[in-house]
Amino acid sequence: EPEVTQTPSHQVTQMGQEVILRCVPISNHLYFYWYRQILGQKVEFLVSFYNNEISEKSEIFDDQFSVERPDGSNFTLKIRSTKLEDSAMYFCASRWDISGNTIYFGEGSWLTVV
Amino acid sequence: ELKVEQNPLFLSMQEGKNYTIYCNYSTTSDRLYWYRQDPGKSLESLFVLLSNGAVKQEGRLMASLDTKARLSTLHITAAVHDLSATYFCAVDIMEYGNKLVFGAGTILRVKS
């Protein structure tokens, strides 16, 4: 079965440092998402991306966050200056279209800010 | 603001028993997803429900959707230990940018 792949699986970073989380969505998918899950809490939407631009972003996705699709395969989430409260599992997801097909999630990148 | 509420949030049950997890949401939608998450793992898609009255079954799990009541249920039949996980429902709404809005999750523990 096709899958969304994410790297790194775990990253520890100092507060204030920049972090880039990488995702390779399923190859023919057109819609891409980042979600995050703070330990023990629910899954929260960060941003959606379609046709090389952000479709929607949540209040969490402030100026410290950015996304990019630098080539035909990668989809990245950058956090410019990490805070302690950014510690969470970050999930990338993709889907073929928005007519109700399954949204596939990657294995996640666990970010720990110290 | 769209709200998605699951209950119960924690469910401890004996093997062999039946139980239902409920998912209520606050706005009109005819698309609802159920996911399973094992500790430290990703979200595994269980069911995609795309219309009022939709019912899907896989093994000991059955999901249904009532869009008029804004309610989905995930029914567990004759639970086994392997079903222990966290179950999330998520609502997919075009007006919200086609993102999924998740419930808080139900932690299911099946005791042998």
Percentage of residues in chain A with pLDDT exceeding 90?
A: 78
Q: What is the pLDDT of residue A68?
A: 94
- Nearest Cα residue to A64 out of A77, A74, A75: A77
Q: What is the pLDDT of residue B68?
A: 92
- For B48, which of A102, A108, A110 is closest by C-beta distance? A102
- Nearest Cα residue to B65 out of B90, B36, B98, B86: B90
Beta bridge partners of A79: A19, A65
Distance CA B105, CA B85 (A): 10
Q: How far B35 CA sits from the closest chain A CA (Å)?
A: 10
Q: Using the beta-carbon criterion (under 8 Å), do A42 and B103 form an inter-chain contact?
A: yes
State yes or no: pLDDT of A79 exceeds 70.
Answer: yes
Q: What is the pLDDT of residue B95?
A: 65
Distance CA A23, CA A6 (A): 4
Q: What is the pLDDT of residue B66?
A: 94
Query: Scanning every residue of chain A, which has its alpha carbon at the shortest distance from the alpha carbon of B90?
Result: A43
Q: How far is CA B24 from CA A12, A68, B8, B14, B29, in A?
A: 37, 34, 11, 25, 11
Q: What is the pLDDT of residue B73?
A: 98
Q: Using the beta-carbon criterion (under 8 Å), do B41 and A33 form an inter-chain contact?
A: no
H or E element: which one contains A13?
strand A10-13
Please list every residue in chain A whose beta carbon sits closer than 8 Å to the beta carbon of residue B36: none
Distance CA B54, CA B45 (A): 16
Please list every residue in chain A whose beta carbon sits closer than 8 Å to the beta carbon of residue B88: 42-43
Q: What is the pLDDT of residue B96?
A: 58
Token pair for A18: 């920049």
Q: Using the beta-carbon criterion (under 8 Å), do B43 and A102 form an inter-chain contact?
A: no
Beta bridge partners of A90: A36, A109
Q: What is the pLDDT of residue B2?
A: 84
Q: How far A48 CA sits from the closest chain B CA (Å)?
A: 7
- Nearest Cα residue to B22 out of B77, B83, B72, B56: B72
